[in-house]
Amino acid sequence: MLTAVLRRTSSTLSRRGFPAALISASTATATATAGNHFRLLSAAVNSRTFHSNPGPLNFRASSCHRAEYAVDDFPYEEGSKGNADEGLEIAKLGISQDIVSALAKKGITKLFPIQRAVLEPAMQGRDMIGRARTGTGKTLAFGIPIMDKVIQFNAKHGRGRDPLALVLAPTRELARQVESEFCESAPNLDTICVYGGTPISQQMRQLDYGVDIAVGTPGRIIDLLNRGALNLKDVQFVVLDEADQMLQVGFQEDVEKILERLPPKRQTLMFSATMPSWIKQISRNYLNNPLTIDLVGDSDQKLADGISLYSIATDLYVKAGILAPLITEHAKGGKCIVFTQTKRDADRLSYAMARSVKCEALHGDISQAQREKTLAGFRNGHFNVLVATDVASRGLDIPNVDLVIHYDLPNNSEIFVHRSGRTGRAGKKGTAILVYTEDQSRAVKLIERDVGSRFSELPRIAVDSASAVMVDSMGGGRFGSFGGNRDRRYGDMGFGSGHSGGYSNPGSGRSSFGNSGERFGGQNYNRFGSSGGFGSGQSGSRSGGSSSRSRFSRSDDFGGFGGSDRSGGFGDFGSGQSSGFGGSRGSKQNNRRPF
Ligand SMILES: Nc1ncnc2c1ncn2[C@@H]1O[C@H](COP(=O)(O)OP(=O)(O)OP(=O)(O)O)[C@@H](O)[C@H]1O
């Protein structure tokens, strides 16, 4: 409260012209030092009165939507996987009382391990890469120091029009969630969430009133930059949430465009539950002497502690029929997310399942308004089964998701980790079940190896022929023909049998699974490149084999999976083009619609 009063009544000196370098302190004492610089400089700048409109309360605040490598300094600690019991008391950290109170209202009183590890170096202004398991509080790990620094800065220098912090997220839903977390944790800061599928004029107006923290997806941010509505010159803190995804094809170009518009002297933070080794290489391009904080480290176990893993074999033509019994038995009345590879499958499956359970689909071809309605309905418990593409695989924090079903194999083990991580969050228990057909057994083993956990095999479920027919008729044969080459579109997807290969094509020499250690591209940049990812010869050869390409081999990342029809899975952030991520990185359409 005191901070708020101070902010409103203190001189609203412009932030314009303040070198971000002064703010991006690199030692524990830098804040004070920078503060002195600011005080000296502040005399020379004009006063500003941003954030003073509109609305009856005389300030603008966005609406809150409810919402590897080793590390030198913070090695993996057994037991530090998201338990706040041992955590530092937030009230004793010396951070803004506004934040302490707001977090306490949410029941957050102690830091989780990743938050504890990040806090001090982040406050010192260090660039960093942070990795911790899903659901262990990475958002507040970067959020708390940023919010506190922004509050401190505003208290000293008044509020400006342009944001001091920028958070980039890969999906609209995640961007909204992150902004909500900022908004709820520092209610006196003005935050904005910008993403496509919503009127840009409203966002432009909001930006004009002034914001402290902007969160968004890259496409819309670039749009706002191009229109001159968003100015990043004051940004002192930038976060790439889900950094490994943000730096993959389809995003990286946009991310770079945005980073180019930021002051060179800034604090850059990258977070994810998965940090493939190629990230280490490319992060040098974006980070200044970064500190890596890795609470997963070399531990074999890549999943959050509370997640129990099961696998179940099925025949393709009855695959959909086993879902209802699985959900009944394992979700136990709680929420369940069923992951499919394609938007079309998500639609068809949810349509078919709606006969027996209340469920809805979520994917990138659904209008933004409907996506938000669906997610809100799921969060609020209006229905308990969400059938989603990988649009929902990363970051989403939905209470009481007790069960995740990988109806289709994920394109890689990282996606497996993220999908599974929608359950078992913040120390809670959850279950993830991988559905596979016999010819995918090898892929199942590779996932086991990659994530360091064994699946407990569930007994097969007998499905009567009526159920099988029902789904088959829904899908026009789709569910009975995964990977078959009669449907060219799906044939390329890499998760089926036959020529499409994917996980299930053990015979392909190019299959990443076939190449063990090289599975995800083996060497550095070329994450999936030389191995051809999960794809088989056909899809893998399209892009996965282009290991000689320069720079980050971004097209290899996805294309190599064989999951080249990005209309499924990650295709949500592309255009649904069949060439999608399998295509060249110049393929513009991949960039335009985040999920
Ligand atoms: N210190 C804390 N005490 C209690 N709950 C917390 C704490 N920090 C975060 N949480 C809660 O834990 C949940 C998971 O946090 P968050 O979404 O930040 O996880 P994450 O590590 O970013 O997960 P993912 O890798 O899936 O993105 C959220 O509901 C958040 O409010």
Domains in the chain and their CATH numbers? 90-294 (3.40.50.300), 307-461 (3.40.50.300)
Among the atoms of ligand 1, which is closest to the Cα of residue 111?
1
Segments of 423-552 assigned E as strands: 430-437, 456-457
Phi, psi angles (nearest 5°) of residue 194: -120, 130
Query: Atom 12 of ligand 1 has which residue's CA nearest to it?
Result: 426
Q: Which residues line ligand 1 (CB under 6 A)?
A: 84, 108, 110-112, 115, 132, 134-140, 273, 395, 397, 421, 425-426
Q: How far is the CA of 470 from the centre of ligand 1 (A)?
A: 40
**What tokens were used for 172?**
């609209």
Q: How far is the CA of 112 from the centre of ligand 1 (A)?
A: 8
Query: Atom 14 of ligand 1 has which residue's CA nearest to it?
Result: 135
Residue to mutate (ligand 1; options 136, 295, 420; most atoms within 8 A of CB)? 136
Q: How far is the CA of 139 from the centre of ligand 1 (A)?
A: 6
Q: How far is the CA of 137 from the centre of ligand 1 (A)?
A: 3
Q: How far is the CA of 255 from the centre of ligand 1 (A)?
A: 24
Beta pairing class for 385-388 and 401-406: unpaired
**What tokens were used for 237?**
């803190």
- What are the C-alpha distances in Å from 194 to residues 167, 177, 253, 373, 441? 10, 12, 18, 17, 42
Residue 466 pLDDT: 62
CB atoms within 10 A of CB 47: 10
Residue 467 pLDDT: 57
Query: Atom 8 of ligand 1 has which residue's CA nearest to it?
Result: 137
Among the atoms of ligand 1, which is closest to the Cα of residue 177?
17
What is the CA 406 to chain-centroid distance, rounded?
18
Rounded Cα–Cα distance for residues 491 and 571 (Å): 15
Residue 134 pLDDT: 98
Phi, psi angles (nearest 5°) of residue 179: -65, -40
Residue to mutate (ligand 1; options 138, 215, 379; most atoms within 8 A of CB)? 138
Q: How far is the CA of 426 from the centre of ligand 1 (A)?
A: 6
Query: Atom 30 of ligand 1 has which residue's CA nearest to it?
Result: 137
Beta pairing class for 359-362 and 385-388: parallel
- Complex ipTM > 0.95: yes
| Residue 28 CB partners (closer than 8 Å, separation 6+) | 120, 123, 124
Q: How far is the CA of 3 from the centre of ligand 1 (A)?
A: 26
Query: Atom 31 of ligand 1 has which residue's CA nearest to it?
Result: 137
Q: How far is the CA of 276 from the centre of ligand 1 (A)?
A: 22
Among the atoms of ligand 1, which is closest to the Cα of residue 418?
26
Residue 88 pLDDT: 85
Please answer whether residues 450 and 413 qualify as being in contact, where contact means their C-beta atoms are separated by less than 8 angstroms: yes
User: Does residue 257 sit in helix, strand or coil?
Assistant: helix
pLDDT tens for the chain, 595 residues long, are 333 333 323 333 334 333 332 233 333 333 333 333 333 333 333 334 456 443 332 223 333 433 232 233 344 343 444 455 556 899 999 999 999 999 999 999 999 999 999 999 999 999 999 999 999 999 999 999 999 999 999 999 999 999 999 999 999 999 999 999 999 999 999 999 999 999 999 999 999 999 999 999 999 999 999 999 999 999 999 999 999 999 998 889 999 999 999 999 999 999 999 998 888 788 888 999 999 999 998 777 899 999 999 999 999 999 999 999 999 999 988 999 999 999 999 999 999 999 888 999 999 999 999 999 999 999 999 999 999 999 999 999 999 999 999 999 999 999 999 999 999 999 999 999 999 999 999 999 999 999 999 999 999 999 876 655 455 444 433 333 333 332 222 222 222 222 233 333 333 322 333 223 323 322 222 332 223 233 333 333 333 333 332 222 222 222 222 222 333 333 333 332 322 222 233 333 333 333 3
Q: How far is the CA of 381 from the centre of ligand 1 (A)?
A: 20
Q: How far is the CA of 110 from the centre of ligand 1 (A)?
A: 12
**What tokens were used for 298?**
């070399």
Q: How far is the CA of 385 from the centre of ligand 1 (A)?
A: 22
Rounded Cα–Cα distance for residues 458 and 454 (Å): 12
User: Does residue 167 sit in helix, strand or coil?
Assistant: strand
Residue to mutate (ligand 1; options 116, 139, 396; most atoms within 8 A of CB)? 139
Among the atoms of ligand 1, which is closest to the Cα of residue 426?
12
